[in-house]
Structure 1
Amino acid sequence: MAVTDPETDLAQHDGGGVTPPPSTPRRRPRGLGWAGRFEIAVLVGPALLMFLGFVIFPVAMAAYYGFFRWQGYGTPTDFVGLQNYLTILTDPTFIEALGHNGFIVIASIVLQGPVAVLLALLLNRRMRGQSLIRVLIFVPYVIAEVVVGTGFSLTLQTQGALNGLLESWGLGAFAHDWIADPSIAIWTLMAILTWKYVGFAVILFLAGLQGIPEELYEAAALDGAGYWQTHWRITLPLLAPTLRIWAFLSIIGALQLFDLVYIIWGQYVASTAGTSTMATYMVVNGRNAGNFGFGNAVAVVIFAISLIVALIYQRFVLRRDAAGAITEGKKTR
């Protein structure tokens, strides 16, 4: 039995067809009034001024001074053009320092990532002394680099506490010059960096783990999934966005590493021990050499390298997370 609409039947009877509903005129979107523009200016203006004053202006001035041979005082007049930049990019010492930064980037991710994930999984479970362990892991991250560098410098030197401890335990054969020996100095640096910064990664990963719904683990247990299989199939995929953000921060930090290297190895030992970085190269060949124009040019090169790496990472890695978030937002509407 067909159900008919009385209004439709009436329209068909009167005019022989269905009368379309009256169309409502579309309203054109109204532009922002003066109140809206004022609100945007108040909210965005201060941040924009700070960005221009603390980021764009210093970079522009550094790029300008990089075209001069400048001693750091007075108006620069000895214009050298691109000579400073060409010297940097063709200097074997800078290329070596860039290679050290690249090694630190890779080693930091390879060493700190797995350790931080395992510690985060351990601390995500209920256990005695959980809060104390979290504090102990995170404390090295908040200690100033000057304190950490000075402490390790005194501990790892030839007559330091570490070698003395090895001697007292009858392990004097394992004593080394942990700082100046080129064969192990870079690994000494990586051990220090891992000790100091792994706590930051653990905190990030813990926050990511606590955002994973518990129902997923319960469903996996009902399906008979094992402990490691559950983490491989559920934990790591859902933790991947946090891992990628942490890796991005680690990469940028490793490219700009300076404090610990300069404090522990000094301005000259760093180059002979194989732990020099682009930042130490900038200080040694710029400020300490009295050529601030050259130092500014090095700073611009470091900034350019960091910016290029950040843009590439954003384009090929972080962009997937942003696209996924937009897709999920559309699905929930």
Structure 2
Amino acid sequence: MASLRDTSQTTANAAGTPDVDGGSVQTLPPSGPPPLRRPTASRRSRGAGWGPRLELAVLIGPALLVFVAFVIFPVVLAAYYGFFSWSGYGPAVDFVGLNNYVVILTDPDFHEALGHNVFIAIMSLVLQGPLALGLALLLNRKMRFQSAIRILIFVPYVISEVVVGIGWSLMLQSNGALNGLLEKVGLGALTADWLSDPAIAIWTLMVIITWKYIGFATILFLAGLQGIPDELSEAAAIDGASYWQIQRHIVLPLLGPTIRIWAFLSIIGSLQLFDLVWIIWGQYVASTAGTSTMATYMVANGRNAGSYGYGSAVAVVMFLISLAVALLYQRFLLRRDTAGAITGGKA
């Protein structure tokens, strides 16, 4: 019995429990490997992070310098000169504060130009979007001369705006090729002053813009369509979905990010439209024909009027409007399109 008791006490003491007699028992420390200590960083490991940083600085540095020199600095300089009545020569000393901006925001001509920009932006989406989407869906199918048709559609986009403006102005003037063709085919009643009539001049501009830029939208949509897996459409077709049901419920939702990117680029380009309007209509005809834009207003009332301070203020207003559109796009659309990709990447 004594041996059994001694054995039980020994076992209890090893387990860290009190013995029968009530004496205290010292608990043995737990067995196991000692805790690992974080190794002290050596000088070589501390300096290893400078390599990627130096490489990043070499790669990003030149582009960052160009961006600051040709984007940030001109914007800051324009904002500075916008507070002065400056003729473009010598230092700007005639400080006028916010007077230039007050004149801009109360000028009916600027309101008219801004309205034209908004109209062009909306009609570009309405006209170019469906046409480009239809062409992209057509060119996404196998057909003869597919590559040649794609090139022909994209050619107007790569042609210089000067060539496009001069060519269209020659064809659309009152004694131009279009009116001459209409008269020869017996449709002389349809002839019009396509460039000088305020009632139709803005629509003439929309036709030219659509012809010029629809190729870019088509190629962009076509690239998005080719990124959609064919298995989705094939599975839907097996389940009995028609061609238009597949386009509506599968293709268009997956093409949504591409469409939204194009819409953003189209709106920004419409707000900054200048070259085609200036080449075809010029300074004075654009204001009388109803095709003036904020950019043509800026050049006419700034550079050509010898008031570079006022023109700089107009440039700042254009920049702020474009920035507001970009921020709204990033807040409500871009974040929505990238959220799924980021979540999927983490998964």
Give the TM-score taking structure 1 as reference length: 0.90
Corresponding residue SS for 1:323: helix
Matches within 5 A, 1:133-172: 133-172=149-188
The partner residue of 1:115 within 131, 134, 153 is: 131
- 1:65 pairs, out of 78, 81, 101, with 81
Match of 2:327 among 302, 308, 311: 311
> Which residue of structure 1 lines up, in the alignment, with residue 11 of structure 2?
none
1:190 to 185, 201, 206: 206
User: What is the alpha-carbon distance in structure 1 between the residues aligned to residue 205 and residue 289 of structure 2?
Assistant: 11
Q: Distance in 1 between matches of 2:126 and 2:38?
A: 57
Displacement after TM superposition at 1:111 (Å): 0.6
**Deviations 1:115-161 (Å, cap 9, x if unpaired)?**
00100010011111111111110000000000000011111111111
Counterpart Cα distance in 2 of 1:25 and 1:249 = 55
Unmatched runs of 5 consecutive residues or more in structure 2: 1-13, 17-29
Counterparts of 1:1-333 in structure 2, within 5 Å, are 33-331=49-347
| Letter aligned with residue 185 of structure 2 | W
Q: CA deviation at 1:186?
A: 0.9
The alignment partner of 1:131 has SS state of: helix
> How far did 1:242 drift?
0.5
- Structure of higher CA gyration radius: 2
Residue type of the alignment partner of 1:103: F
Deviation at 1:276, TM superposition (A): 0.7
TM-score, structure 2 normalization: 0.87
Write the letter of the residue equivalent to 1:142: V
Number of residue pairs matched?
317
- Percent of aligned positions that are identical: 72
Deviation string 1:271-297 (CA, Å, 9 cap, x unpaired) is 111111000000110111111111111
Q: By how many angstroms is 1:175 displaced? A: 0.5
For 1:10, the equivalent position in structure 2 comes to: none
Name the SS of the counterpart of 1:182 in structure 2. coil
- Please state how far the C-alpha of 1:39 moved relative to its aligned partner: 2.2
Alpha-carbon separation, structure 1, partners of 2:38 and 2:265? 47
Q: CA deviation at 1:40?
A: 2.5
Judged with a 3 Å threshold, the aligned counterparts in structure 2 of structure 1 residues 275 and 227 are, in CA distance, closer, same or farther, namely same
Rounded to whole Å, the distance in 2 between the matches of 1:205 and 1:28 is 55
State the shift of 1:44 in Å: 2.1
Change in Cα spacing, 1:26 to 1:228, as seen in structure 2 (3 Å) is farther
Q: 1:27 to 1:115 in 2, by over 3 A?
A: farther
- Please give the per-residue CA displacement for 1:53-106, whole angstroms capped at 9, x wherever unaligned: 111111111111111111111112222111111111111110111111111111
Distance change in 2, residues 1:27/1:206 (3 Å): farther
Unaligned runs of 5+ in 1: 1-13
Amino acid at match of 1:243: I
Q: Match for 2:211: what amino acid?
A: W
State how far apart, in whole Å, the 2-side matches of 1:118 and 1:40 are.
43
Alpha-carbon distance, 1:23 to partner: 6.4
